[in-house]
Amino acid sequence: MKHSRTNMHAPEAVVVACDLITPYGLGIDACWNGLLSGKTAINPLDRFDTDVFQTKKAATIAELKTGQSDSLVMQMLKPLLEKASAIIPKDALLILATTTGEIDILEKQVLNAKDNADESAPGYLLEKVQCLSGIKAPGIIVSAACTSSSSAIAQAGAMIRSKEHDCVLIVACDIVSEFVFAGFSSLMALDKDTARPFDKNRSGLSLGEAAGFVLVMSKERAIQEERSIIGEIAGWGLTNDANHMTGPSRDGSGLALAMRKAMRSADISEDAVGCIAAHGTGTMYNDAMEMKAFKSVFASGALPTYSIKGGIGHTMGAAGLVETIVALRSLREKLVPPTVNLLVADDEAEGWVSTEPDSFDNPVTISINAGFGGVNSALVLKKGNRQ
Amino acid sequence: MIVISGIGWISKKKYGCVKKAVCRGYTDIKSLHSKLQNESIFLYPVKNFGRFDMTSKMACCAGALALHDAGVKYSEKRKQDIGIIGTNTDGCLRSNLNYFKDYVQTGRKLARGNLFIYTLPSSSLAEAAIHFGFQCPLLYIMFPQKQVSSLLQYVEGIISRKEASTVLAMKVDEKKAVCFVLSGEDDSSSK
């Protein structure tokens, strides 16, 4: 690729700040410690009536309350961005990543027999996020199903490497709503208990909600501003299966292609990768497809692999960003978090995933996502210099 | 240098291609679909077209018109390294309303999976990518203003950065669509 790391004049894209809120609580420590504890945050749901659905469980954030003046999304974003606004440069490009945004506004309008749900349209949310972040220009929204935020991070990396921008703020958010819960249930995609990624007896995903941000800068600017570098977005690959709307390509070739593109973009070989942050939803077909892709790319043997979706559920458009932040923490600690809810690894995943935390040597993680429509993303993440 | 090698468009009652100077009328989306099939603008039938939401139908039709205009061939058996980037003003608001109203009307007991599939802003692009066999980045990008020029500028960046050599860029909603085929100059010269 023209702008791969072999081009010595191409700036490195580094993460200088990040934060998140997940069903484990506010902040990275809460999420990291929750995962290491091995306890799931997927619990019975009381936000709406779940009697008719496939499951009564999801991973929600206890502090979020329906019926407030702020949407659930804004209740997640306000504490994060108000705290961070002082460290966010006003000239940053804002990229908002989401699948359904403030869908609870639409729910309320329809349930109250009103016919104006325009305020649930993504443009309104973009304006609110711009105000919260203090960024001058309005920014853009990136949406690509469950790869939304990882695709947004990839785009940020590409823009920095090509010198189109030297600072990009990526904000991601999605909520557990009746809207999506009923939809996933109708597709028979939900586990009746809790998601068990890569388990022999897995039977579906659990929905979760989260929000977070990642501030990415050129390394040059980060050094000039004396920012500590949390990690590097070293490479990326985005592909599409072009196969089916709701099912991944069974052979995993689309995802494998994304991973190969990401490694080529990072100018590394398979040997350099120390760990895989899997998508690992817990559905039969997704996890099988991923293992095929992993084995195709890393043919020489198993790599430490984990999914966080047994802990916080599938956070949809926010999943890639949350997983990037967790992967950066994992690189810092040189620790692979356990795959929460795993009981007995599927035959194909045996030797790759674990119920226990594990160490790893090479400070490079490949973080992957896949979603509706056959979209695939892969990010190569490297450890930063923060002590 | 980036070149636009084809443009397809659909308005309320008309559709056309710019380079081939086509401008014809149609009555509804079903008739448009039939016309595009009869005129061999669709090179093969669109699977499940009747089940698509309106934006996906428009995206497929506009994509076929733009590819026809650019002379880009596609086939059911061969996938291509082409990207698809789309924009509009309100995501998939109408499809969201259709799905959720339908669910509420059934007494909040039964959601229809087929309507739920289209409650992502990227769904219409995905239907087009599946039909045409496009394997490069698929992204819905919403720009707050100047959507068409912002879209073209964004896609220029994607091609310049070699994320895709050719991109189908479209502004599409339930009522109208415009779709461009963009390539790096080297890639378009052979088409």
A240 touches chain B (CB under 8 A): yes
**Structure token pair of residue A147:** 């790869």
DSSP state, residue A360: -
Q: Which of B49, B75, B98, B122 to mutate to test the interface with A (most CBs of A within 10 A)?
A: B122
**Structure token pair of residue A265:** 């973009």
Closest in B119, B136, B140 to A100, CB measured: B119
Distance CA A44, CA B19 (A): 58
8 Å CB contact between A341 and A194? yes
Distance CA B60, CA B71 (A): 16
Distance CA A100, CA A268 (A): 35
Mean pLDDT, rounded, for A142-160: 98
Task: Using a cut of 0.90, tell me whether the model's pTM lies above it.
Answer: yes
Q: Note the pLDDT of residue A119.
A: 92
Q: Is the ipTM of this complex over 0.90?
A: yes
Q: How far from A370 is each of A193, A255, A377, B164, CA to CA, in Å?
A: 23, 7, 6, 19
8 Å CB contact between A79 and A26? yes
Which residue is it, tokens 């050129």? A218
DSSP state, residue A85: G
A138 touches chain B (CB under 8 A): yes
**Structure token pair of residue B106:** 């059934």
Distance CA B66, CA B17 (A): 7
Residue-wise pLDDT tens digits, B72-86: 999 999 999 999 999
Residue A5: pLDDT band (50, 70, 90) is low
Mean pLDDT, rounded, for A366-374: 97
Mean pLDDT of successive 10-residue segments in chain B (191 residues)? Answer: 96 97 97 97 96 98 98 95 97 96 96 97 98 97 96 96 95 97 72 45
8 Å CB contact between B75 and B133? yes
Tell which B residues from 41 to 80 touch A, by Cβ distance under 8 Å: 79
Q: Which residues fall within 8 angstroms of residue A139, CB to CB, at 6 or more apart?
A: A93, A94, A95, A96, A126, A129, A130, A169, B144
Q: Note the pLDDT of residue A369.
A: 98
**Phi, psi torsion values for B60, nearest 5 degrees:** -65, -45
- Under an 8 A CB cutoff, do B132 and A139 touch? no
3-state secondary structure of A191: coil
Nearest-CA distance B14 → chain A (Å): 28
